[in-house]
Structure 1
Amino acid sequence: MGIVRSKYYGILRAVTVGIAFFLQIAIMIFLAVYLMRYSIIIYFILEIVSVITVFALVNNAESYKMSWIIIILVIPVAGLFLYFMWGRKRINSQYFKKLRESDAQMMRSLKQDDSVVQDLEKRHPNKVQISRYLRKEGFPIYNNTKAVYYKVGEEVFDAMLEDIRNAKKFIFMEYFIVSEGKVWNDILEALTQKVQEGVEVKLLFDDFGTLRINTHTFRKEMKRRGLEMCIFNPIHRDVTRMTFNYRNHKKITVIDGNIAYTGGFNLADEYANYIVRFGHWKDSGIRLYGEGVYSFTCFFLDMWRIASRNTDVKNEDYKPQIHIDEPGYVQPFMGGPHRNPHNPTEGAYTRMINKARDYIYITTPYLVLDQSMREDLTGAAESGVDVRIIVPKIYDKWYVYMVNVSNYGKLMEAGVHIYEYTPGFIHAKNVIADDECAICGTINTDYRSFYLHYECGVFLSEMDAIKDMKADFLKTLEQCEEMDLVSWSKRPIGNKMMQGALKVLSPLL
């Protein structure tokens, strides 16, 4: 089912792009054959419309805006069609109003303990600015929280299933992709058992990510089992509002308010290597236990209020019921298109890179960089920081891989080390810096995560989990092939041309 879903997603996007270019060519032929006398005037009018559309982009993030400007001005007919499908803010103002209201309710619940901040500033003055930035965006930092890092999806699901089976009060699960198979079936049976024991279960899934499984039969079965389920941002409600953007890409499980999971994994068999799609699937995840879990509880309920249209759900009803003494700090955060152009997902990554002194290690499946992020990485490397990035050797989307490769050159010229994971597909989304801090979450280094999707992650400081993340990165390097500038520059001319064209289309990918 996961393979079918991925193919459907790719076909749908390819067909849409194909239609756009067909319209472009058809209109040009029509003008040339039937309206030759007026073709220049009509094409000029199309360019005027394109320019007007370009002005509508002025409030978007700079790199995202510039990519769309190039597309629209170079191919006005196809560019306009693609922009109105994927580029513009299609969520109506009423929707954003509700989202802001829910966000405000969430932020009122997330209060900062000043003593934690003071302690952090004494112990880690070099990394205070990262935490300060996230606090300014409304996300408190916590102590008294234990973090456990998992280096593959199999480990995550084993631990999560055990915690689900031990749940006493409630279970919240928010995921982008759900597919039939062992992972989902095991979780579904465990959830059903907990409902029978009186545990409250809420499930929140993205509509696009569950396109194949989200049928009337599926929804009826969830209801029969006593599971509350909501679908986020339906894409088919009516064709005039269909959008492929603004997907809920977050992965969150919260159990009893005391335990939370997040990471790159979805609820599908490929994430645990029960099925093989692109070689070995290398993912990662993290488990929090303690006070810091409350932020993830609030993140879930924030989206639940929107999807369920139930504004009576109160964050305070689901507070943690434990207190532990644990060293270190955790700072969960989230982002989404309603926060553009100042999205915390990109902001956290940018500040991690710019504040690194010794090294910055990144794992990501998609290296679709905007100009700002590229300059941050090259600037760090040119300043003597050891910058290493692991990306997949075996890719899930050939066109994204082509854009990945197109970005290698500028990075390697500046001294960035790029490695391709040879056993398969690396899907982990981690950033580690200076043995002092790290981020683990759902955030890819691409336009979608930084500008278009709802994402989440957790910033870690002074925790053993950071050592585990670094050890996993270095161990993974042993299974990677380092890219070199000479070989990259000698790649076939056809690849260079294709990569250049696809790079222009980066916002669509």
Structure 2
Amino acid sequence: MRKIRGLWKLLFGRTTILILMLLVQVVALVGGFVLLDKYVFIFNYLLGFISLIILLYILNARQNSSFKITWIILILFAPFFGVIFYLFTRVQPGTRFIGIRIEAALEEQAPYLTQDPYVLEALEEEAPEAAGLARYIHDSGKYPTYRNTQIRYFSSGEEKFEEMVRQLREAKEFIFLEYFIVDKGVMWDTVLEILEQKVKEGVEVRFMYDGTCSLSLLPPNYPRKMKALGIQCKVFAPITPFLSTHQNNRDHRKVLVIDGHTAFTGGVNLADEYINEIERFGHWKDTAVMLRGEAVRSFTLMFLQMWDIRETMPTPIEPYMRYDFQMETRLWGGGYVTPYGDSPYDNENVGERVYMDVLYSAKKYVHIMTPYLILDEEMITALTYAVKRGVEVIIIMPHIPDKIYAYLLARTYYGQLIDEGVRIYEYTPGFVHAKVFTSDDEKAVVGTINLDFRSLYLHFEDAVYLFRNQAIKVIEKDFQRTLEKCQKITKEDCRNYNVFKKLAGRILRLIAPLM
């Protein structure tokens, strides 16, 4: 009986219906192109002219070269589909609306995101190159650098969850949660129980999750259930049966803000695999950080930007900026802390630029943990040039992947990187979901940004850049402990890799920017 119910849910569930409706639209579009090609002779000439114009536009556009190549291949080899699909992705009022709303929110928040000149002057005297990066993040990404902030690093989802629960129970005024994945189980049920209690105590709770959860993890009426509990709830970009490029730009951030003085971010979502309560791909290795101090203001404002996208009236900012940090100089953990967000709509790839700055400025080493490795030529150059300058570059990847296509793609980069001297290791106990850079015992990045096209160009992301902060040594120690559980990938391993998997990966490289 249980099997029959499961089959019924699979065949007639909302996920299946959504996929079928999307497929119907794709078939209708392709069928229309074929009919036009067959019965309208002049259409071929018109299509050729339009294709030429679009190709010239693509070649001259301010866009990553890998995306350009993918679009050119698609238009040359499948002109009907390629031209219409390109026009479809470019003319999307929904995406423009989101970009405009985020830009407006940043303008309104500008007085709260000003850079303290004394902090920047101190950084300039201490390390001019680091001050240059701080200026870039503030001028292009709009987020300032802080000093009066304490950082605590968590080397696993379990550690983060334990402290997260403790901090949630201490909340007095407000709780903001913004997560990519939320799934029922020990982790979310525990958090939800605390949130319900906090609402009863008069604490304001806002909860936002990405629309991909509505496919199979949470029911479509979940926001109504949350509101019935007194929790304000929103779904970012719900998955609908109508084609839209807006659905390609997911909210991949993982942000928790408590009372304006404490914030969490990192790779850990609100689901049981992240704390190893259930096993999906072997042992799940993840990381996170907790901030306490002035830098939390950036995360508070980051959350409100996303929350207010569909609001007619923006949330008043001042009530969430009242916490006085002047009495908490003890929070300073040394060095500098720069939280930042990245948006696919501002034509500025802040996440990628920060990673590249770490690679280009490194003197001794750059150590990386990432679940995915889908690279453009710029990132390949940054990684390999660092090695050529004598910098040790080590990348830890998963040994048990969560997405086979992503792993096959990653393997296509192994040989080239190893030839250039980059050392690649795989975490043999299972899956690495951490997004971590450390360098020279003085720089680190912890956040949500993977080394793939989706994170670097298509998703809403966030991270924290640390410079000469006490937590950096703790992060590097964790890297070394993780490295002890890894196996090194050699050139021979690359040669002996399954030939069909190699071929599949090479084919996937043609559409890598779309993955």
TM-score, length-scaled by structure 1:
0.89
What is residue 268 of structure 1 aligned with on the other side? Answer: 271
What is residue 193 of structure 1 aligned with on the other side? Answer: 197
What is residue 421 of structure 1 aligned with on the other side? Answer: 427
Q: 1:369 to 1:315 in 2, by over 3 A?
A: farther
Q: 1:146 to 1:74 in 2, by over 3 A?
A: same
What is residue 182 of structure 1 aligned with on the other side? Answer: 186
Equivalent residue for 1:142, pick from 142, 146, 161 = 146
Q: Cα offset for 1:132?
A: 2.5
Q: Cα offset for 1:93?
A: 3.1
1:370 lines up with 2:376 in the alignment = yes
Instruction: Indicate the larger mover: 17-26 or 455-464.
Output: 17-26
Seq. identity, %: 37
Q: Cα offset for 1:19?
A: 8.9
- Across the two proteins, how many residue pairs are aligned to each other? 498
List aligned pairs for 1:416-455, cutoff 5 A: 416-455=422-461
Amino acid at match of 2:247: F
Q: Cα offset for 1:382?
A: 1.2
What is residue 328 of structure 1 aligned with on the other side? Answer: 335
Q: Cα offset for 1:420?
A: 1.1
Equivalent residue for 2:157, pick from 153, 171, 192 = 153
What is residue 105 of structure 1 aligned with on the other side? Answer: 108
Are the equivalent residues in 1 in contact too, given 2:175–2:203 (CA < 8 A)? Answer: yes
Amino acid at match of 1:314: I
Instruction: Indicate the larger mover: 218-227 or 193-202.
Output: 218-227
Tell me, in whole angstroms, the C-alpha distance in 2 between the residues paired with 1:226 and 1:357.
Answer: 52
CA root-mean-square deviation: 3.0
Tell me, in whole angstroms, the C-alpha distance in 1 between the residues paired with 2:338 and 2:20.
Answer: 38
What is residue 128 of structure 1 aligned with on the other side? Answer: 131
Are the equivalent residues in 2 in contact too, given 1:230–1:308 (CA < 8 A)? Answer: no
Q: 1:147 to 1:388 in 2, by over 3 A?
A: same
What is residue 251 of structure 1 aligned with on the other side? Answer: 254
Tell me, in whole angstroms, the C-alpha distance in 2 between the residues paired with 1:175 and 1:142.
Answer: 24
Tell me, in whole angstroms, the C-alpha distance in 2 between the residues paired with 1:286 and 1:14.
Answer: 40
Instruction: Indicate the larger mover: 108-117 or 239-248.
Output: 239-248
**Residue segments in structure 1 that go unaligned for 5+ positions in a row:** none
Amino acid at match of 2:372: Y
Instruction: Indicate the larger mover: 435-444 or 241-250.
Output: 241-250
Tell me, in whole angstroms, the C-alpha distance in 1 between the residues paired with 2:314 and 2:115.
Answer: 24
What is residue 233 of structure 1 aligned with on the other side? Answer: 237
Are the equivalent residues in 1 in contact too, given 2:181–2:270 (CA < 8 A)? Answer: yes
Instruction: Indicate the larger mover: 247-256 or 99-108.
Output: 99-108
Q: Secondary structure at the match of 2:207?
A: strand
Q: Cα offset for 1:126?
A: 4.3
Q: Give CA deviations for 1:340-395 in whole Å, capped at 9, x if unaligned.
A: 2x221111111111111111111111100011111111111111110111111111
Amino acid at match of 2:103: R
TM-score, length-scaled by structure 2:
0.88
Are the equivalent residues in 1 in contact too, given 2:177–2:256 (CA < 8 A)? Answer: yes
Instruction: Indicate the larger mover: 493-502 or 266-275.
Output: 493-502
Q: 1:20 to 1:211 in 2, by over 3 A?
A: closer
Equivalent residue for 1:486, pick from 492, 499, 509 = 492
Q: 1:389 to 1:435 in 2, by over 3 A?
A: same
Q: 1:401 to 1:47 in 2, by over 3 A?
A: farther
Q: Give CA deviations for 1:462-488 in whole Å, capped at 9, x if unaligned.
A: 112111110111111111111112331
Q: Cα offset for 1:90?
A: 6.1
Equivalent residue for 2:389, pick from 380, 383, 390 = 383
What is residue 344 of structure 2 aligned with on the other side? Answer: 337
**Residue segments in structure 2 that go unaligned for 5+ positions in a row:** 1-5
Q: 1:386 to 1:188 in 2, by over 3 A?
A: same
Equivalent residue for 1:91, pick from 79, 82, 94 = 94
Instruction: Indicate the larger mover: 171-180 or 100-109.
Output: 100-109
